[in-house]
Amino acid sequence: GFVAGRGGQMYECACLLDYALKKKGVRDKFEIHLFSPNIEPGETGAITDSLLERGIILDYGYEPAEFVEGGMLDADGSFRKADLILFTPGITAPEWVRKSCLPVSAGGHIDVDKFGRVKGLDNVFAAGDCSNHENPPPWVPHQAHMAQLRSAAAAKNMQAVLKGRKPSHTYRFELSCILNMENDALWLHAASDGKPPFWNIFPRHSKKLVTVKDMFERLYLFYLRYL
Ligand SMILES: Cc1cc2nc3c(=O)[nH]c(=O)nc-3n(C[C@H](O)[C@H](O)[C@H](O)COP(=O)(O)OP(=O)(O)OC[C@H]3O[C@@H](n4cnc5c(N)ncnc54)[C@H](O)[C@@H]3O)c2cc1C
How many CB atoms are located within 10 Å of the residue 97 CB? 18
**Ligand 1 site, residue 143, Cβ cutoff 6 A:** yes
Structural domains of the chain, ranges and CATH numbers in brackets? 2-87 (3.50.50.60), 91-171 (3.50.50.60), 177-226 (no CATH)
C-alpha 174 – ligand 1 centre gap (Å): 17
Q: What whole-number distance in Å separates Cα of residue 125 and Cα of residue 55?
A: 46
State residue 50's pLDDT score.
92
**75: Cβ–Cβ under 8 A, 6 or more apart, which residues?**
63, 65
Query: Average per-residue pLDDT in the chain?
Result: 92
Q: In this structure, is the dihedral angle defined by the CA atoms of residues 56, 87, 215 and 145, taken in order, positive or negative?
A: positive
Residue closest by Cα to atom 21 of ligand 1: 144
State residue 168's pLDDT score.
97
The answer on pLDDT for 40 being more than 90 is no
Q: What whole-number distance in Å separates Cα of residue 177 and Cα of residue 127?
A: 20
ipTM of the complex: 0.95
Phi, psi of 18 (to 5 degrees): -60, -45
